[in-house]
Structure 1
Amino acid sequence: MGTEETPADAAEKPGPPFTEGRARAVLEAAGEAAGTGDAELLALGENAVFALRAARGTRQPAVVRVGRGPWQRERAARELRTAAWLEEQNVPAVRAARPGVTVVDGHPLTYWRRLPDAVRPATPADLAELLLLVHALPPPPFPLPRRDLLSGVERWLRLAGDAVPAEDAAWLRARRDDFAAAVAALTPALPPGPVHGDALPRNVHVGPDGPLLLDLETFSDDMREHDLTVLALGLDRYGLTAQEYARFVRVYGWDVREWSGCAVLRGARETASCAWVAQHAPGNPAARREFARRVASLREDDVTVRWLAF
């Protein structure tokens, strides 16, 4: 889940729904063949991610990320800079297929090298190994933003519109404000610095040469605890097993749940994750049901309710 917004987002009005069809039309306008045989949809979330037979002007297969709107242009450019910096630092991560951001009808496009097939699914232990490398890095030679988990809440609820109950949206906004103040008052236990920002096993690819990081768009300069709280929430909400979590802690060397601020970061991420699903509610009954499940469990403070990955 990406949760970063630029200040311009606050004034951004929702445009047409961002669907696979819309993303394919953007690809065609960019000069890429968007037919089923030439562009395979890999993911549709904050970005539409397609596998192409070859990036335009090259002979190599590539992956293209199509952003939802113009507010993501700056983030896309920063993601490319981050990838280049991680390569300089010898951190295993995705690499760009070509420099620069292409903007088509307000949608930023970035091109990435196609990865070899995975040799096995990524595990929390793989993620922990990569986070140790990231958390040992000095600041990069360009500014990274803070990891503001909650800045996307307003836009996602606006995109949801009447597809979610107004009282639930109002309740989430109030919860966002409370957690934003609480997060700002936290004292970290670890030295702050570069973080991935969305540290999940699904953002790790294990190829023939080992694990590497994916989805660099939420790279930030903030509390390292942000990356560690993600899996603590996975244990509580998404069915991560106690054994998997224990292996993650063993590899990383510290359990974030020992930190007094963990519950605050966890609550902030829960709030953002609930609002993130809301943007998909218009026209998607499954998203409406999952939003209802999540917001009800938060309202009732019921930590036994498992959330479905979406």
Structure 2
Amino acid sequence: MTPTVALTRETAQNALNAACAAVGLDAAGAELIRIGSNAVYRLSEPVIVRIARNGESIENARMQVQVARWLSGEGYPATRALDVDQPVRSRGLVTTFWESASEREEYAPLDQVAELIRRLHSLDAPSSLHLPEIRPLAKLDAQIGDLANLDRADAQFLENRILSIRDQYERLEFDLTPGVIHGDANVGNVILDRAGQPILIDLDSFATGPREWDLVQTALFYERFGWHTEDEYRTFVKVYGYDIMTWPGYRVLADYREVAMTLWLCGKAGTDMQAAAEVRKRVESLRSGGSRHDWAPF
């Protein structure tokens, strides 16, 4: 097994330099756009470089590149994988290369988000892609160790909430026909290209499974977070053609997403005081049923 390498500014920069050299690109002057689940760089030429958290994600990175090439062949508007031999494992981290769609990060309006999701759900992925089935509960299980960064009461609360979600999820009956899904579809993953046209980005959660997973975040952001207006959400529903909030299982998926967002942040709470404070705030609102409007993005 390849040893896990922590994703820091230093390790990401080292991986960037080595990976760019391996495919004949120049890393000089690269701009670090963000560092979270991935480190994302913009090169001096129109190329985006994504560096994943550890070297064990090579299969996922390969899947992302294959999905991007399939979508390109379908004429579907999504991020395009650069035509180089990738992914590249370097310095213990996995790197992928993408065509830069725009020099600025501008998000598409919700009607365009809905249209791209609707179009995606109309596609049948070839069996050669070997897309995984979505396993949301397994993802929580993989992160459960990060609860050690919390005080015992908060950790126990989240453990109990996960158990409750697990029990409810296993008894859900989904409305929509399952198939290919983005897995993390929301306004933050649909940007406008240089021509002002929407494209789907961040393909690392692509899978097969219930289509409801691609609708729940927009509903959650409207209903609990107040990030979308009612008019925006109603337009989203009209364009897509289905309102997940009318489905009895909506609350279970929404609860899952809240816990998943919080559990991901627990991984940073051990070394980041702001993240730790945000986790405490989120747990308290989950415990009390209070407003989520003050949850800060990370």
What is the match of residue 219 of structure 1? 206
For 1:152, the equivalent position in structure 2 comes to 139
Q: How does 1:119-158 map to 2 (within 5 A)?
A: 121-141=107-127, 142-158=129-145
Residue 48 of structure 1 pairs with residue 42 of structure 2: no
1:232 is matched with which residue? 219
4+ residue runs of structure 1 moved beyond 6 angstroms? none
Residue of structure 2 in register with 1:77 after alignment:
62
Cα distance, 1:161 vs structure 2: 4.0
Unaligned runs of 5+ in 2: none
- Bigger CA drift: 216-225 or 98-107? 98-107
The match for 1:101 among 70, 75, 87 is: 87
Amino acid corresponding to residue 123 of structure 1 in structure 2: P
Q: In the TM superposition, what is the alpha-carbon distance from 1:31 to its structure 2 partner?
A: 4.9
Please identify, of 21-30 and 189-198, the stretch whose mean Cα deviation from structure 2 is larger. 21-30
With structure 2 as the length reference, what TM-score do the two structures score? 0.89
CA deviation after TM superposition for structure 1 residue 69, in Å = 0.6
User: Any conservation in 1 of the 2:64–2:203 contact (CA below 8 Å)?
Assistant: yes
Which structure would you say has the larger RCO, counting Cα contacts within 8 Å and 6 or more residues apart?
1
Aligned partner of 1:57 in structure 2 is none
- Distance in 2 between residues matched to 1:201 and 1:238, nearest whole Å: 13
Give how far 1:49 is off. Answer: 0.8
Tell me the residue number matched to 1:293: 281
Any idea what the Cα deviations from partners look like across 1:166-216, whole Å, max 9, x if unmatched? 332233233223212322321111111011111111111112061110001
Moved more, 101-110 or 153-162: 153-162
Q: 2: distance between equivalents of 1:264 and 1:46?
A: 24
> 8 Å contact 1:196–1:219 — kept in the other structure?
yes
Between 141-150 and 101-110, the greater mean CA deviation after superposition: 141-150
Q: Quote the offset at 1:16 in angstroms.
A: 5.7
Aligned to 1:4: none
Query: Shift of the alpha carbon at 1:238?
Result: 5.2
What secondary structure, in the 3-state scheme, does the structure 2 residue paired with 1:111 have? strand
TM-score, normalised to structure 1's length? 0.85
Indicate the SS of the match to 1:280: helix
- Name stretches of at least 5 consecutive residues in structure 1 with no aligned partner: 1-7, 55-60
Alpha carbons of 1:34 and 1:279: their partners in 2 closer, same or farther (altered >3 Å)? farther
Gap change, CA 1:293 and 1:119, over 3 Å in 2: closer
Aligned to 1:112: 98
1:150–1:272 contact (8 Å) kept in structure 2 = no
| Contact 2:14-2:91 within 8 A present in 1 as well | no
Contact 1:205 1:213 in 2 (8 A): yes
Query: Match of 2:186?
Result: 200
**Residue pair 1:199, 1:230 contacting (<8 A) in 2 also:** yes
Give the alignment partner of residue 26 of structure 1, picking from 3, 6, 15: 15
Q: Does 1:244 align with 2:232?
A: yes
Post-superposition offset of 1:160: 6.3
Contact 2:55 2:92 in 1 (8 A): yes
Of residues 252, 265, 272 in structure 2, which corresponds to 1:284? 272
Q: In the alignment, what sits opposite 1:5?
A: none
The 8 Å contact of residues 5 and 54 in structure 2, kept in 1 or not, is answered as no
What is the match of residue 249 of structure 2? Answer: 261
Tell me the percent identity: 31
Q: What secondary structure, in the 3-state scheme, does the structure 1 residue paired with 2:80 have?
A: coil
Supply the AA of the counterpart residue of 2:213: H
Give the corresponding residue for 2:29: 38
Between Structure 1 and Structure 2, the one with more helix by share is 2
Aligned in 2, Cα 1:34/1:165: closer, same or farther, shift over 3 Å? farther
| CA distance in structure 1 between the aligned counterparts of 2:248 and 2:47, rounded to whole angstroms | 43
Amino acid of the residue matched to residue 169 of structure 1? A
Q: Distance in 1 between matches of 2:226 and 2:155?
A: 22
Compute the displacement of 1:239 (Å). 2.5
Q: Distance in 1 between matches of 2:5 and 2:104?
A: 35
The SS at the match of 1:293 is helix
Determine helix, strand or coil for the equivalent of 1:112.
strand
Q: Measured at CA, do residues 183 and 99 of structure 1 come closer, stay the same or move farther in structure 2, by a change above 3 Å?
A: farther
Q: Could you say if the C-alpha distance between residues 134 and 264 of structure 1 is closer, same or farther in structure 2, counting changes exceeding 3 Å?
A: same
- What is the rounded CA distance, in whole Å, between the counterparts of 1:119 and 1:139 in structure 2? 28
Aligned residues: 291
Q: CA RMSD in A?
A: 2.4
